[in-house]
Structure 1
Amino acid sequence: MPRDPETDWLSAAQQTLDTMTLSPRAAHRGRVEEIGDGVAMISGLRDVGLDEVLHFSGGQTGFARVLDPDQIGCVLLDGTTQVEAGDAVYGTGTVVDVPVGAGLLGRIVDPLGRPLDGKGAITADTRMPIERAAPAIIDRDLVTEPVQTGVVVVDTLFPLGRGQRELIVGDHSTGKTTLAIDAIMAQAHSDMICVYVAIGQKSSSVRRAITALQTAGNFDRCIVVVASAASAPGLQWIAPYAGMTMAEHFRDAGQHALIVIDDLSKHAATHREIALLTRQSPGREAYPGDVFYIHARLLERAAKLSAALGGGSLTALPIAETVAGNLSDYIPTNLISITDGQIVLDAALFHQGQKPAVDAGLSVSRVGGKTQAKLLRTAAGTLRLDYAQFLELEVFTRFGGMPDGRVRSQLTRGARIREALRQDQHTPFRLADEVALMMAVQAGLLDAVPTSAVAAFRAGVPARLDQQAAAQVQTITDTSTLDDTGHAHLLDVLNAYAETFAVQP
C-alpha cells in the first residue's frame, strides 16, 4: 500500500515539535518612526546604549548616535532605500567594531572592514571597537625618534617624530594629499606600517592615491580605508575612528604606524549634517557643540608608548582644508590647537610653481629638532633663518635699488635654497640625499650654479651618490651618522658634481 506524503509530513513535524524546547525569549525591539538622509528616528528601544549597533528587519545596520527620552537617532551604515517607517529595529548590545591585524595589510576596505578590492574575505586576528580610550599620560614616552617623510622642506625645516600629530592644512588643490602620500611612500624601506583613510573624497582622487601607493612598492605594508563621497554619512563618520583602531593594533604590539586622515574638514561637515538631522542644537557655523571633542578624542589616540608597554608608536597626519587661506576658520583653528604643529600649504606659492607649496613662516613643528636626525640637523645648520631672511630681503629689493655685496650674496644663497626645497611629487628622498643636498647648499657649492640648473642638480644627487659615495650612503642609512673622512669625501663628490653645472668664467 503506497505511503501518504501528507501523513509523512505531519509525522515529521510532530517529531520536531516533540524534540523542541519552548521557552520565552526576550528581544529589544523598536520601530522606525522617520527615515531620511541616512538617519532614522526610532521609538521603543529604551535600553539601547550610545553607539550601540542596531539591526533593521530588512538587513541594514546602524548605530545609535542620539539618545532622547522618547526617540533614538540612529545613523545608518548602509543605504536607506530599503528602510521604511514602521520597520522593526533590534538592539544588539554591541558597539561598532572592525577587524584588525596583519590580514588587513595590502587591502582596500570600507570603514567596517569589508573588502573593496575584490581579493576575497579579510582574515583578521580579532575585532576591536572603533571607539577606544587614548593612552594615559603615564603610559606615554617622549617623542624622540624621527619620521623621515622624504620631503626635503619638511624633514629639514619641520621635522616629525614618531608619536606626533602634525596637521597638513591648506586650500583646495594645493598638494595636501600629495604631501601625505609622499610621506607614506617614504616608508617603503622603514619599519612603519601605514594607514590611509579617505573621507568624502572623489573616487578619482582616491584611485590616484591608491595607484601612487601601489607603484611605490610598499603597498603590502599599507591599509587603505575608503569612505567616498557616495558612501552613507554613517560610514564617513566612523571612517577615521575605524582607521585609528586598525593602526592602534600595530602600535600596541610594539610596532610603529603612520595614519593619514584625508580629511577632517569633510568629517566635520558630515558630523554637522548628522547632528542637524538628529535635531541637536547647532552652534557656531551650525556645528554642534561637540565638534572639537570628536576630533580631540580621535587625535589623542596617536602617541608614543612607554617601553613597559612595548615602545610602539602611532603618528598621525590629519588633513584639513581652508577657504581662501583662512587659518582662523572654525575647524582649522580647532585642529591646530589639538595637534603638535601644522604644515601650511599656500595657494599663491603653489601657483608660482613652488611645490611643495609649504609656507615656511606659518608652518611649525612643536616637537622640532628633538626628533630630527642629528646629521641632517648639522647639515641644515641655519637654513631656516637664512631662508626667512632671504624672503624678507626679496620683498624689499622688489622696490628697486642696488643692494650691497652682502645682501647680494644672501639673495644668491636664498634663491638656491628655494630651488633646493622644490621637489617633484612622488619622488621621496633618502636621508643621505637630503643630507647631501643641505651640505651642498650650506657650503655654498650651488652659489655658482645658475638658478635654472639647481633642479637638475637636485634630481641627479641620488644617482651621483650611489655611483661615487655608496659607502657613505650606506653608513647614513644604517647609523644616521658620518665621520669626518666620510663627510670630506661627500663634499668632494658634491663639489665635483656642482662644477659640472657652474657657469664657466
Structure 2
Amino acid sequence: MTITLRESLDLWLKAAEARLADVVLAPPPDQIGVVEQAGDGIAFVRGLPDLPLGALMRFESGASGFAHALDEDLIGCVLLDFDPVKAGEQVRGLGGVVTTPVGEALLGRIVDPLGRPLDEHGPIAAVRYDPVERAAPGIIERDLVTQPLQTGIKLVDALFALGRGQRELIIGDRETGKTAIAVDAIINQRNSDVICIYVAVGQKSSTVRQVIDAVAAHGDPQRCIFVVAGPSTAPGLQWLAPYAGFAMAEYFRDQGGHALVVVDDLSKHAATHRELSLLMRQPSGREAYPGDVFHIHARLLERAAKLSAALGGGTLTALPIAQTEAGNLSAYIPTNLISITDGQIVLSAKLFGEGQKPAVDIGLSVSRVGGKTQAPVLRELAETLRLDYAQFLELELFTRFSTTLDPRTQAQIEHGRRIRAVLTQAQYAPLSLAHEAAELLALHDGLLDGLPLDRIEAFKHQLPAWLEQSCKGVLDRIEAERTLDPSDRDRLRAAIEDLVKTLTPSASQASA
C-alpha cells in the first residue's frame, strides 16, 4: 500500500493538531530569588537559575542591579544605585540587559551611564535604548583606517597623527596634561563632522566641570555628549560608564557618521573592576586585579573601528586615558592597555615641569595607524622633524658639560631649540590644518633659525592673522586639498619670511 504525498501531509497535520491540543497555555512560572548578603554596592542572590550574565534584576525595595558573577549557587549582583538592599529581600529578573538611550537628543547633554539627565534641560527623548555591551565589529565588517582625525595639536598631528577608527592611548603621571590633550582634540572637532563623547569615570566634579566649561567656551558643546559617573556614584555606574559611552557613539557610527570617545580614565575603571571582583570573592592575580581585567578593556576598545562601505563607512575613534605612577609604563594596567591600543601618547612629568606643553615624550610615543592617514601636506613637512628633534635632545644632553661647540653642532642645537619652541602650544588653542602647515614649513625650511628664541612666541601669535591677510587663498586650498603645491609653497614661504623680518631686530638694535 503506497501513500501519496498529500495523504502523508494530512497525517502529519493531524498529529500536530493532536499534540497542540494537549498543550496547556499558561504564563511561565515567575522565578524569584532571595538576597543572601548585601553591602558596599553589591548583593549576593540565591535562586534565579536561568538568569544570564549581565541580566537586569529588580529588588523588592525598588533597587536595581545586574548580574556580574555567576557561581554554582549564588549570583553576584552589582547595584546601580545606593538604594538600601537587605538580606531576605525577594529579587526578580527583568528579562533584559542594561541599556542606555541613544540618538541626537543626547547631544549637548550631561547624563549618567543610564542616560538619566544630570543637567537642567529636562528628560531625553531617545531614539531607542541600546545594550551598553555589544560585540565588536568582525574583520569582514571593518575597513582600513584612511581618514585623518585632526586634533589641532601640532606635535600630535605632525609626529603621531591619528586616524578615524583608531584607538590611541593617552598615558602619563597625574597632572601632566592627559585630559588637556583629549579636550583639545574635542574642541578641534567644532568645525568637523565628528560627534564627541566625553566619559568621566571616577573624576572629581570640579574636573568634569572644567572640561564642560572649556568645551562650551572654545568648542561646540551641541555636538558633544558628557557621560559622568563621579566618585560619589555607585561603583556599578562607574563600571558601566565606558560601555555606555561607546553605545551612544555606535549609534552615530552605524548611521554612517563619525564619533570620538574619550574615556577619562581607564585606570580608575580598572580599580573599580578590582573592587567589585574582590567584594565578590573572585580570584585575584597580579596587583590584586582579577584575571579578566584585560578582557573587559579589550572587548571595550575593540568596538572602535571604521566600518566597511557596505555598512555605511562610519568610524568610531577611541582616546582612552590611563595614569601611571612615577612614569612606570611596565605596570599591569598600562602594559595591558598599550598592547590593546594602536599606539600611545606618553606624557612626561619631567617635561611638564620644565614648561614643555604638551609634555609629550617623543621617544616613547607612537601611532601605529594614523601615519597612513596623515594629511599629505603634514607628511611632507614633518618627514624629518621627529629625527631632527630626537637628535637635538641627545645633543643638548651631551653638550651640557661642553664649553665650546663646533659651528655645525651649534647650528643644530639652535634649530632644535626652535623646534621645541614651535611645538609648544597653549591649551584650548587648537590650530587649523593650514596654520599647522605654515609653522611646520617655517621649521622645515629653517626660516626661524635667524630669529631670536625669545621672539618665537611673538611669531606664532602674529602668524595666523598675517597669513589670513596675505595668503588667504593658499590657506583655503590647503584646507580643501590637504596638499601644498610648489607655487603655493613659494607664496607661503615668502609671507613667513616677511613676518620674520619684521620680528628680527636690526644690527643697531642687537648691539644696543
TM-score by length of 1: 0.94
Distance 2:218 2:182 in 1: 13
RMSD: 1.1
Q: Tell me which residue corresponds to 1:56.
A: 59
Gaps of 5+ in 1: 1-22
Per-residue deviation, 1:24: 6.7
CA distance in 2, matches of 1:140, 1:379: 31
Q: Contact 1:143–1:162 at 8 Å: present in 2 too?
A: yes
1:307 correspondence with 2:309: yes
Which shows bigger deviation, 288-297 or 461-470? 461-470
Residues 1:25 and 1:365: Cα distance change in structure 2 (over 3 Å):
closer
Aligned residue number for residue 149 of structure 1: 151
Paired residue secondary structure (2:427): coil
Tell me the equivalent position of 1:377: 379
Is it true that 1:425 corresponds to 2:431 in the alignment? no
Q: 1:27: Cα distance to partner?
A: 2.2
Aligned pairs (5 A) from 1:214-233: 214-233=216-235
What residue is the counterpart of 1:3 in the other structure?
A: none
Cα distance between partner residues in 1 of 2:462 and 2:42: 55
2:186–2:219: 8 Å Cα contact kept in structure 1? no
Equivalent residue runs for 1:196-345 within 5 Å: 196-345=198-347
Which of 70, 74, 83 pairs up with 2:77? 74
Which is worse superposed, 23-32 or 289-298?
A: 23-32
| Structure 2 residue identity aligned to 1:85 | A
Match of residue 33 from structure 2: 30
Q: Shift in Å at residue 368 of structure 1? A: 4.2
Q: 1:51-104: per-residue Cα shift (whole Å, max 9, x none)? A: 000011222110000111211110000114x22112221101100011111111
Provide the rounded CA distance (Å) in 2 between the counterparts of 1:289 and 1:217. Answer: 40
Residue 152 of structure 2 contacts residue 185 of structure 2 at CA under 8 Å; is this kept in 1?
A: yes
Give me the whole-angstrom Cα distance separating, in 2, the residues matched to 1:24 and 1:355.
65
Question: Does the CA contact (< 8 Å) of 1:448 and 1:503 recur in 2?
Answer: no
* Whole-Å separation in 1 of the counterparts to 2:476 and 2:232: 47
Q: Is the 8 A contact 1:53 1:93 kept in 2?
A: yes
Aligned partner letter, 1:478: A
1-side partners of 2:171 and 2:503: how far apart? 36
* DSSP 3-state at the match of 1:139: coil
2:429 matches 1:449: no
The correspondence for 1:47, drawn from 30, 46, 50, is 50
CA deviation profile, 1:121-158 (whole Å, cap 9, x unmatched)? 11111111011111111111111111100001000010
Indicate the larger mover: 306-315 or 375-384: 375-384
CA distance in 2, matches of 1:377, 1:500: 29
**Cα deviation code 1:474-504 (max 9, x no counterpart):** 1112221233222111111111111222232
Superposed displacement of residue 350, structure 1: 0.3
- AA aligned to 1:349 is L
Q: Does 2:472 correspond to 1:477?
A: no
Aligned to 2:35, the other structure's residue is in SS state strand
Work out the CA distance in 2 between the residues paired with 1:457 and 1:93: 63
- Which amino acid in the other structure matches residue 350 of structure 2? A
Which secondary structure state, in structure 1, belongs to the residue aligned with residue 189 of structure 2?
A: helix
Structure 2 counterparts to residues 168-207 of structure 1, below 5 A: 168-207=170-209
Please list the CA deviations of residues 349-379 of structure 1 after superposition, one character each: whole Å capped at 9, or x if unmatched. Answer: 0010000000011000111421110011112
Aligned counterpart for 2:417 among listed residues 415, 418, 424: 415
CA contact (8 A) 1:65 1:75 kept: yes
Structure-2 separation of matches of 1:283 and 1:130: 27
Higher alpha-carbon deviation: 470-479 or 332-341:
470-479
How many residue pairs were aligned?
Answer: 482
Matches of 1:456 and 1:243, distance apart in 2: 41
Gaps of 5+ in 2: 1-25, 508-512
Distance 1:326 1:503 in 2: 46
Task: Determine if contact 1:161/1:372 at 8 Å carries over to the other structure.
Answer: yes
Equivalent-residue separation in structure 2 for 1:198 and 1:468 (angstroms): 43
Aligned-partner Cα distance in 2 for 1:175–1:182? 11
- Residue number in structure 1 paired with 2:16: none
CA 1:352–1:74 in 2, change beyond 3 Å: closer, same or farther? Answer: same
Q: 1:499 aligns with which of 501, 507, 511?
A: 501
Counterpart Cα distance in 1 of 2:497 and 2:140: 50
The amino acid of 1:120's aligned partner reads: G
- C-alpha distance in 2 between matches for 1:104 and 1:460: 39
Cα deviation code 1:196-224 (max 9, x no counterpart): 00000000000000111111241111111
Alignment partner, residue 114 of structure 1: 116
Matched, 1:101 2:103: yes
| Deviant stretches of 4+, over 6 Å | none
Alignment partners' CA distance in 2, 1:98 and 1:500: 57
2-side partners of 1:182 and 1:498: how far apart? 28
- Conserved? CA contact 2:176–2:347, under 8 Å: yes
Find the aligned partners of 1:381 and 1:282 in 2 and give their Cα distance: 47
Q: C-alpha separation between the residues in 2 aligned to 1:88 and 1:451?
A: 72
Is the 1:375–1:480 contact (alpha carbons within 8 Å) kept by the matching residues of 2? yes
Identity %: 60
String of CA shifts for 1:153-196, please: whole Å, max 9, x gaps.
Answer: 00001000011100000000100001000000000000111110
Distance 2:296 2:79 in 1: 19
Match of 1:131 in 2: 133
Deviations 1:286-314 (A, max 9, x none): 10000000000000000011111111111
The structural deviation recorded for 1:25 is 6.7
Counterpart of 2:179, as a letter, is T
Comparing 159-168 and 495-504, the one that deviates more: 495-504
Which residue identity does 2:64 align to in structure 1? T
Aligned partner of residue 137 in structure 1, secondary structure:
coil
Distance 2:90 2:501 in 1: 78
